[in-house]
Amino acid sequence: MAQQTITPELRRWIIEQATAGFTPDVVLASMVASGWSESVAMKALDTTLREHLRTQSAAKAVAAAPTASGAAPAQVGVPVPDLDLSRSPRQIDAGDRMVDVIATLNHPRVVVLGNLLSAEECDALMEAARPQLARSLTVETKTGGEELNPDRTSSGMFFTRGQIPEVARIEARIARLVGWPVENGEGFQVLRYHPGAEYKPHYDYFDPAEPGTPTILRRGGQRVATLVMYLNEPARGGGTTFPDVGFEVAPVRGNAVFFSYDRPHPSTRTLHGGAPVIEGEKWVATKWLREREFV
């Protein structure tokens, strides 16, 4: 097959389809049916729509439409945090340290980072969190509260923003790295997983169809990105998995995985989970970013 080129004409066509109300899944299927390879089509969609959202006052670029499977319609896309990888850097300046770029995916938008945290910062977060650990809860979107969930078998706690110097320093680093205000972030959640503990695949956004979601959104709007930071290394198991794309990130001390989602819909392909720890224990710190200031 001859090499396929993403031309200005193709970009204009993609924008026309999105503006007309077709979801990315529908546009992708149309491109593949017309002879485009799936990888080129996905790249063209991702780069074109991201740039369009940034430069065309955003949200109306991608309209909602029912999927072929009859799933709930995709929501309107919104601007999201992101890293500037336009020049394919090996490292990014995060202000007080250089952070390594290890791997990237475009759809879902996933970036694996190395050297985000120092060993001393990892130790400080674990030691400060240890006395406050309790069985992890999940957000209950039917009511807007919290609940025990059998899919989540870790123990954890929350820091408030800037609660200790290490948290404040890392929050400022993340804000610079992904171009998103510190105040739009939830407090760190630190989690510890013993052998056998896991978090089964789930989405981090709040389901718009659930009755408790409006209450949750009053605190800062939807979640639009997640950063999972690894504070130690289990001997076996405990990776962060993305089942929709067959991708797994190994838990390496000081490293992190960032992923964003511009709408609360499975079309973002951000289904993810914490694989069971097989040997040792796993500690992570999770940072969720919201559309607006989180209060």
Q: In which band, very low, low, confident or very high, does the pLDDT at 49 lie, cut at 50, 70 and 90?
A: confident
Task: Find the helix packing angle between 24-33 and 8-19, rounded to 10°.
Answer: 130
DSSP conformational letter for 59: G
The pLDDT of residue 149 is: 60
Token pair listed for 66 = 């029912």
Residues 75, 291: Cα–Cα separation, whole Å: 14
Question: What's the confidence (pLDDT) of residue 45?
Answer: 85
- Determine the Cα–Cα distance for residues 226 and 68; give it in Å rounded to an integer: 28
- pTM (2 d.p.): 0.74
Q: How do 240-242 and 247-249 pair as beta strands?
A: antiparallel
Return the higher-pLDDT residue of 150 and 212: 212
First and final C-alpha spacing in the chain: 53
Q: Tell me: pLDDT of 108 over 50.
A: yes
**76 secondary structure, DSSP code:** P
Q: Does residue 230 come out as left (phi exceeding 0), alpha (psi in the -120 to 50 range) or beta?
A: beta
Q: Convert the pLDDT of each residue in 115-134 to its tens digit.
A: 999 999 999 999 999 999 99
* Nearest Cα to Cα of residue 184 among 236, 156, 220: 220
Cα–Cα distance, 204 to 186 (Å, whole number): 13
- Chain-centroid distance of CA 91 in Å reads 20
Tell which residue, 66, 54, 61, has the closest CA to residue 26.
66
Q: In terms of pLDDT, which residue wins out, 19 or 287? A: 287
In this predicted structure, the answer to whether residue 59 has a pLDDT above a threshold of 90 is no
Please list the residues that pair with 111 across neighbouring strands: 104, 258
> Among 218, 237, 247, 240, which Cα is nearest to 278's?
237
91-290 in CATH: which number?
2.60.120.620
Judge contact between 18 and 53, C-beta under 8 A: no
Break the chain into its structural domains and give their ranges: 8-61, 91-290
**Dihedrals φ, ψ of 44, to 5°?**
-60, -45
Kindly tell me if the per-residue pLDDT of 212 is higher than 90.
yes
Q: What is the pLDDT of residue 4?
A: 86
pLDDT tens digits, 216-255: 999 999 999 999 999 999 999 999 999 999 999 999 999 9
**Is the distance from CB of 112 to CB of 102 less than 8 angstroms?**
yes
pLDDT at site 56: 47
Looking at per-residue confidence, does 19 or 97 come out higher? Answer: 97
What are residue 138's DSSP bridge partners? 147
User: With contact defined as beta carbons under 8 Å apart, do 83 and 102 qualify?
Assistant: no
